Amino acid sequence: VAGRLLATATFAADKIHDIGIRLHDVNIRLEERKVRLSLAIFEEKKFAIRIIDNTAPSDRARFDNLASAMEKLGCVAGCNGGFFNRRPFQPAGLMIVDGRESGPFEPNSWMNGLLIIRGTHMPLESTASLKSRRDIGGLLQAGPWRMR
C-alpha cells in the first residue's frame, strides 16, 4: 500500500501470475460516467504489505508517480492509500511508516477509516477503535468507509 501517491493502481503484470496474485478489472458505467477498478487478489500471509512515505527532503514528492515508486522499491502491486496536503507536503491524516508518525490523528474527521499493519495482519478499522499505537508498524488514516 502506497501512501501519498497519485490516485491510481499499478501492477507488474509480468511478475504477478507466477507468484500467486490474480488480477480482476471491474468496469462500471452509469450514463456518461465510467469507473474502472483494478483488484489484486492474494493470500495475505504470502506477501508483505507496506505503507510507503512519498515525502522527500525539500518538501517534495520522493517519486513522480506510483509506477516509478513500485519499480524502484521492487513492489509487484501498489495503490494510492491516502490524502495529503501539497504545501507543506504531508499527510492530511495520521500516517505511520516503520513506526514513525506523521500527520495529525483526527478521529472526528470525515477520514474515519484506518488501515493498520501489525506484524502480518492488516485489518481495516474505524478511528474510534484506535486505543493504542503500540506494535503498529504502519497505519494510514483515510475514508470514508463502511463495513458491516
- pLDDT tens figures, 79-100: 877 777 777 777 888 999 888 8
pTM for this model (two decimals): 0.72
- Residue 44's φ and ψ, nearest 5 degrees, are -55, -35
Cell matching residue 54: 512519498
Which of 136, 35, 143 minimizes the C-alpha distance to 81?
Answer: 143
Nearest to 7 by CA among 60, 58, 67, 53: 67
Q: What is the pLDDT of residues 28-67, one digit of tens each?
A: 888 888 888 777 888 877 888 888 888 766 667 788 888 8
